[in-house]
């Protein structure tokens, strides 16, 4: 469905690219999680699938949706792509809906973009869509205004709108983050059902690595516009390979674990004004060595066996870790099969220095539970 291949995005007047050599794939019916701290480039990566780039952005690499180069689309083809092939659901449903227009109007507008222009047919379809997303009493809801619905109900309306054109790819950008936990669970369940029934591919953006590990087939961890780690959700959770991934997990260890301790990652993620001659995470990495500040590790794909624990697994392009400092005490599927990635350091090309202190603390030891499989790291 989605094939992002070596996407680099440069903006004028920034010290480093917003995205650097980002690659990921989403297959039919697959959910791929995109995780990372604020500013790591998750939303920009997802928007690229809509052919939507920041003003003045210059790209290299490719973004293909069902084989079509999304970045090359213009005019009517681009409008059709955004209206029919790909749909995005954001965190705040109230921002997506006009407060003075009825729910039914929002849906019929989306249906018109998808080619349903007959008013009567569109109204009937709007009610059907609300029924599909599990909104009770849909015939009454279409006549209501957004302020008459709860946040969870509104997110269902937004998802109904996203489904109006039966898109092949759904981009969920923190789509459940603002909801209470029970509503969040219902919306996640709804999205899971829809993708199973329609084989829709989904890119699921979240700050919550535990949620991504539980909900997604594969997880891509981003840091400073780069892919830090890319593994099957199960492998990533059982044996995170990048110190940044381990740091994210240690920020929110699973409750109930006797030795669970919250360990924040020291420092802040870099801004676009920061550039690095070496690894962008070096300044915050508990395992950094002096050479990490001058050499950029290069991601090397693991062998297919390394991720074979994932049903319908990611195949040869899954399972990347872009740090050559691998955990010695937590062998994952990769090292167990003798196929640990051999990332090759290359001289960094960006100018500037890594700022901040290198933390001396050891990587976390809190164990966490894999919701799907019950394995621990
Ligand atoms: N149109 C733009 N012009 C300039 N900078 C931008 C633009 N869009 C995003 N950025 C910057 O690019 C970086 C990545 O932004 P992006 O929204 O993709 O990150 P994110 O990981 O999705 O963050 P969050 O989790 O907060 O949504 C940030 O530093 C952001 O300020």
Task: Note the pLDDT tens digit of each residue in 117-147.
Answer: 899 999 999 999 999 888 999 999 999 999 9
CATH number, domain at 297?
A: 3.40.50.300
Residue 49 counted as domain residue: yes
How far, in Å, CA of 5 to CA of 1, rounded?
Answer: 13
Does residue 129 sit within a domain?
A: no
> Which of 246-255, 275-284, 309-318, 367-376 has the lowest average pLDDT?
367-376
pLDDT: which is higher, 334 or 16 = 16
Containing 69, the helix (H) or strand (E) segment is strand 68-69
**C-beta 15 within 6 A of ligand 1:** no
- If one counts the domains in the chain, the total is 1
Q: How many angstroms does the Cα of residue 48 sit away from the middle of ligand 1?
A: 12
Decide if 227 is inside a domain.
yes
Are 44 and 54 in contact, with CB atoms under 8 Å apart? Answer: yes
Domain for residue 122, yes or no? no
Residue 100 lies in a domain: no
Q: Is 224 helix (H, G, I), strand (E, B) or coil?
A: coil
Rounded CA-CA distance 93/151 in Å is: 7
Residue 293 lies in a domain: yes
CA angle 277, 278, 281 (to 5 degrees): 125
- Rounded mean pLDDT, 9-16: 94
Q: Which helix (H) or strand (E) holds 48?
A: helix 42-48
pTM of the model: 0.81
Ligand 1 touching residue 52 (CB < 6 A): no
Q: Which atom of ligand 1 is nearest to the CA of 54?
A: 1
Q: What are phi and psi of 356, to 5 degrees?
A: 90, 170
Note the pLDDT tens digit of each residue in 313-362.
444 345 566 665 544 433 333 333 333 332 323 223 222 222 222 222 22
- In the reported structure, the alpha carbon of residue 322 is separated from the centroid of ligand 1 by a whole-number distance in angstroms of 22
Q: What are 156's two structure tokens?
A: 């269902």
Nearest atom in ligand 1 to 44's CA? 18
**How many whole angstroms separate alpha carbon 109 and alpha carbon 54?**
26
- Domain with 291, as residue range(s), is 2-95+166-347
The predicted pLDDT at position 359 comes to 27
Question: Which atom belonging to ligand 1 lies closest to the Cα atom of 36?
Answer: 21
Q: Tell me how far the alpha carbon of residue 254 lies from the centroid of ligand 1, in angstroms.
A: 29
Quick one: pLDDT at residue 89? Answer: 92
Q: 112 in ligand 1 pocket by Cβ < 6 Å?
A: no
* Pocket of ligand 1 contains residue 352 by CB under 6 Å: no
Q: Which of 4, 41, 48, 280 to mutate to test the pocket of ligand 1 (most atoms within 8 A of CB)?
A: 41
In this structure, is residue 18 part of a structural domain?
yes
Instruction: Check if the beta carbon of residue 3 is closer than 8 Å to that of residue 25.
Output: yes
Cα distances (Å, whole numbers) of residue 212 to 127, 269, 289, 338, 370? 31, 20, 30, 27, 11
Mean predicted lDDT score pLDDT of the chain: 80
Would 111 be classed as within a structural domain? no
Atom of ligand 1 nearest to the CA of 207: 25
């Amino acid at each position: 469905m989605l094939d992002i291949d070596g996407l680099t995005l440069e903006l004028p007047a920034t010290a480093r690219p917003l995205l650097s050599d980002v690659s990921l794939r989403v297959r039919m019916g697959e959910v791929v999680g995109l995780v990372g701290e604020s500013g790591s480039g998750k939303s920009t990566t997802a928007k690229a699938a809509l052919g939507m780039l920041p003003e003045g952005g210059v790209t290299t690499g490719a973004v293909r949706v069902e084989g079509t180069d999304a970045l090359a689309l213009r005019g009517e083809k681009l409008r059709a792509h955004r209206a029919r092939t790909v749909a995005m659901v954001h965190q705040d449903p109230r921002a997506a809906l006009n407060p003075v227009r009825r729910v039914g109007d929002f849906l019929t507008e989306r249906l018109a973009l998808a080619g349903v222009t007959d008013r009567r047919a569109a109204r009937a379809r709007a009610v059907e869509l609300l029924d599909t997303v599990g909104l009770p009493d849909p015939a009454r809801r279409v006549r209501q205004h957004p302020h008459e619905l709860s946040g969870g109900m509104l997110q269902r309306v937004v998802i109904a709108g996203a489904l109006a054109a039966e898109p092949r790819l759904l981009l969920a950008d923190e789509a459940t983050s603002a909801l209470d936990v029970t509503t969040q669970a219902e919306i996640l369940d709804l999205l899971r059902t829809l993708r199973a029934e329609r084989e829709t591919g989904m890119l699921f953006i979240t700050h919550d690595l535990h949620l991504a590990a539980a909900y997604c087939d594969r997880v891509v961890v981003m840091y400073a516009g780069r892919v830090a780690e890319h593994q099957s959700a199960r492998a990533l959770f059982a044996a995170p390979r990048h110190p940044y991934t381990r740091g994210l997990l240690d920020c929110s260890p699973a409750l109930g674990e006797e030795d669970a301790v919250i360990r924040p990652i020291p420092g802040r993620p870099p801004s676009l004004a920061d550039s690095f001659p070496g690894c962008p995470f070096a300044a915050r990495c508990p395992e950094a060595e002096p050479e990490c500040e001058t050499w950029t590790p290069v991601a090397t794909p693991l062998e297919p066996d390394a991720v074979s624990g994932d049903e319908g697994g990611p195949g040869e392009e899954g399972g990347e870790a872009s740090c050559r400092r691998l955990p010695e005490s937590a062998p994952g599927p990769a090292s167990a099969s003798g196929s640990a990635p051999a990332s090759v350091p290359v001289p960094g090309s960006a100018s500037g220095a890594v700022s901040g202190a290198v933390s001396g603390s050891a990587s976390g030891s809190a164990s966490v539970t894999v919701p799907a499989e019950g394995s621990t790291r």
